[in-house]
């Protein structure tokens, strides 16, 4: 930690907090990172720095999606249950569970939330870790199941969902255009749009048929608009198990609820369960009440209001997967791509984000957004063009094939030609013999990337959290090590400091 970095690498060396200083390891790491960031990443050898930040607010060293689950749990060892539960979450604060990581963990610890299966990006590994941690907790009385509130939001109008990927692409990505009309919604580049959508009516009809309730219109409305029928919770499995008249059905449902490996139907939706376990038919009202609420989906806004007044535009990847002979449609993406019409309004809200262009036009902007991660950067580039802001901008984009998957190609090439985009680095993963990803381009461009960062660049990452964002984070550390002469600890501290200064922002999902 106290290594002296050669002077030749840049400006004056910065102080390093000595190991003997009266700070915890986390405070020392924070301070060293802060200083490294302040001094442009060159860590030197000096003693004391400023006092730790105000009251050294509770730190969450595990709150980083780039850290593996095991390490996150270790970082939280010795902390109260709610913090260890938080460490088991995917650390994305993505809202898909209806909370952020901290509040979901607190709700589980207090018993206000009973399902350990809500962390979508954390998937089974998180669920297992949560269950193991919760097993330590005294059993509390079961809270009442959630009452389905009406979806909220302002009505906006669907305009179009043109395909952005070309013929022959393995992907179906849509340019969704929505008319804000009289909704009163306003947004800025970097914000996300939360959309409340309905379940696929055909899937709802199949569920009603399996329940023998095809004539029940109020049940139809409830299942269509308010309940998540794709991801049943443990409480639904327990309810079905309790009602099963056939012992093997009850046993299989219990095993599914316990998350045992290899039990079929794996990753079942409500229809799978009803079809696989016909002896399990609890009262319909109880079954419906056990289902989670249908949550709105978030989309990074892909437009600037200056370039698209009265409209909001999105870049939406259609989510579909075949399982057990049935195509499983992502609720919102398939609604937007296949079912939405201008005649039926959508309920929307703007989620204000931390993701913001620098106010200072002297600060360069580095944007890393493969796939649908391009969305907020289209908004940024529209905004830079519309305002005439002079920030130097560099985009790293990529996807499978250049010929079919270069989303917003014409606009991006026009920005490059005009200079709105000073640099463009493209990574096509399936055009050659080996995979080329954005982080490979970062490594190739390391000296320039480092120079831009030394010039005070703000670096943004958007797109896939589980693979891309982690690897980009690692690539950034590598740049700090190769170009800034840092060791691994210093590089990590430098990145932490960059993030705390708002110069490393991620919108990953
Ligand atoms: C901050 C933020 C920004 C985002 N920005 C974007 C963006 O710009 N563009 C973008 O495309 N996405 C974005 N997302 C992701 C987006 O919110 C959705 O998660 C994504 O579109 C999938 O939602 P969906 O409703 O289509 O799929 P879901 O219904 O949520 O389905 C998710 C998974 O469940 C499976 N599934 C669905 N139904 C069934 C079933 N019946 N049986 C079994 N499995 C099933 C699907 O196959 C899929 O794997 C963002 C997310 C966040 C948190
Ligand atoms: N967890 C998964 O397995 C998985 C898979 C697909 C999509 N998704 C989800 O789909 C959304 C985004 O999908 P998208 O289609 O817009 O983009 P995407 O799946 O992220 O693909 C965009 C580009 O990123 C590449 N890529 C794959 N792994 C990468 C890595 N580790 N580092 C850098 N680049 C990588 C892809 O290459 P290749 O595809 O050629 O490898 C592709 O060229 C997110 O919600 C994401 O979580 C998840």
Distances (CA, A) of 477 to 13, 483, 485, 493, 494: 19, 10, 11, 10, 8
Is 239 within 8 Å of 286 (Cβ atoms)? yes
pLDDT tens digits, one per residue of 135-146: 887 755 554 444
Q: Is residue 406 within 6 Å of ligand 2 at its C-beta?
A: no
Radius of gyration in angstroms for the set of CA atoms belonging to the chain, rounded to a whole number: 25
Q: Which of 89-98, 108-117, 118-127 has the lowest mean pLDDT?
A: 89-98
pLDDT recorded at residue 21: 53
Instruction: Give mean pLDDT, residues 237-264.
Output: 94
**Does 400 contact ligand 2 (Cβ within 6 A)?**
yes
Sketch out the chain's domains with CATH numbers.
7-56 (no CATH), 69-134 (no CATH), 154-198+296-351 (2.40.30.10), 201-290 (1.20.990.10), 365-508 (3.40.50.80)
What is the helix (H) or strand (E) element at residue 312, kind and residue range?
strand 311-317
pLDDT in tens, 2-58: 333 333 333 334 455 555 554 544 444 445 544 444 444 333 333 333 334 444 467
**Which residues, 6+ apart, have CB-to-CB distance to 282 below 8 Å?**
239, 240, 242, 243
The pLDDT value recorded for residue 500 is 87
Return the closest-CA partner of residue 102 out of 87, 80, 117.
87
Bridge-based pairing state of the strands 326-329 and 320-323: antiparallel
The backbone region for 93, taken as left when phi is positive above 0, alpha when psi lies in -120 to 50, beta otherwise, is: left
395 beta partners: 367, 424
Q: What angle do CA 466, 234, 117 make, to 5 degrees?
A: 20
**Is residue 33 lining ligand 1, measured as CB closer than 6 Å?**
no
Q: What is the pLDDT of residues 312-331, one digit of tens each?
A: 999 999 999 999 889 999 99
Provide CB contacts within 8 A for 45, sequence distance 6+. Answer: 2, 4, 13, 15, 16
Report the residue among 467, 472, 474, 475 best suited for mutation to probe ligand 2: largest number of ligand atoms under 8 A from its CB.
467
Distance 208 CA to ligand 2 centre (A): 35
Q: What is the mean pLDDT of residues 171-188?
A: 96
Q: CA 168 → CA 93, 188, 477, distances in Å?
A: 35, 34, 36
Task: Check if 124 has its Cβ closer than 6 Å to any atom of ligand 2.
Answer: no
In this model, does residue 188 exceed pLDDT 80?
A: yes
At 231, list the tokens.
Answer: 């991801």
Q: Determine if ligand 2 sits within 6 Å of the CB of residue 398.
A: yes
pLDDT higher than threshold 90 for residue 382: yes
CA distance 413 to 43: 39
pTM above the 0.85 mark?
Answer: no
Nearest CA, atom 29, ligand 2: 468
* Helices (H), ranges, 345-399: 375-387
pLDDT score recorded for residue 41: 37
């Amino acid at each position: 930690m106290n290594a002296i970095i050669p002077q030749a690498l840049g400006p004056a060396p910065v102080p390093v907090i000595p190991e003997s200083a009266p700070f915890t390891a986390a405070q020392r790491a924070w301070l060293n990172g802060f200083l490294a960031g302040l001094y442009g990443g060159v860590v030197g050898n000096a003693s004391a720095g400023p006092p730790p930040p105000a009251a050294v607010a509770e730190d969450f060293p595990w709150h980083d999606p780039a850290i593996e689950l095991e390490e996150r749990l270790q970082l939280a060892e010795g902390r109260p249950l709610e913090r260890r539960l938080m460490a088991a979450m995917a650390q994305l604060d993505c809202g898909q569970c209806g909370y952020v990581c901290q509040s979901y963990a607190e709700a589980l610890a207090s018993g206000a939330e009973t399902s350990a299966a809500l962390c979508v990006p954390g998937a089974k590994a998180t669920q297992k870790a949560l269950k193991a941690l919760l097993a330590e907790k005294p059993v509390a009385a079961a809270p009442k199941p959630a009452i389905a509130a009406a979806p909220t939001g302002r009505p906006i109008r669907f305009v179009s969902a043109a395909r952005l990927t070309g013929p022959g692409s393995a992907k179906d990505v849509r340019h969704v255009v929505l008319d804000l009309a009289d909704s009163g919604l306003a947004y800025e580049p970097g914000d996300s749009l939360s959309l409340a959508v309905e379940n696929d009516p055909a899937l709802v009809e199949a569920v009603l048929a399996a329940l023998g309730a095809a004539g029940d219109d109020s049940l139809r409305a409830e299942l269509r608009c308010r309940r998540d029928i794709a991801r049943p919770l443990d409480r639904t499995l327990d309810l079905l198990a309790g009602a099963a008249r056939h012992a093997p059905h009850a046993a299989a449902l219990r095993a599914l609820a316990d998350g045992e490996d290899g039990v079929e139907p794996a990753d079942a939706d409500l229809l799978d369960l009803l079809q696989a376990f016909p002896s399990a038919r609890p009262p319909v009202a109880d079954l419906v009440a056990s289902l989670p609420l249908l949550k709105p989906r978030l989309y990074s806004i892909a437009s600037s209001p200056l370039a698209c007044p009265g409209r909001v535009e999105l870049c939406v990847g259609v989510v579909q997967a075949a399982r057990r002979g049935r195509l499983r449609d992502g609720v919102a993406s398939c609604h937007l791509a296949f079912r939405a019409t201008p005649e039926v309004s959508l309920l929307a809200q703007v989620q204000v984000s931390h993701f913001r262009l620098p106010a200072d036009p002297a600060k360069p902007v580095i944007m890393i957004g493969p796939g649908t991660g391009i969305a907020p950067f289209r908004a940024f580039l529209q905004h830079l063009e519309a305002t005439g802001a002079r920030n130097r901008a560099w985009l790293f984009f990529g996807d499978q094939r250049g010929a079919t998957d270069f989303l917003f190609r014409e606009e991006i090439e026009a920005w490059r030609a005009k200079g709105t985009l000073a640099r463009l680095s493209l990574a096509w993963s399936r055009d050659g013999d080996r995979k080329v990803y954005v982080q490979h381009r970062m490594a190739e461009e390391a000296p320039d990337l480092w120079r831009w960062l030394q010039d005070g660049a703000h670096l943004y990452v958007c797109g896939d959290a589980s693979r891309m964002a982690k690897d980009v984070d690692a690539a950034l550390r590598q740049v700090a090590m190769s170009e800034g002469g840092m060791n691994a600890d210093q590089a990590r501290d430098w990145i932490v400091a960059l993030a705390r200064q708002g110069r490393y922002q991620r919108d990953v999902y």
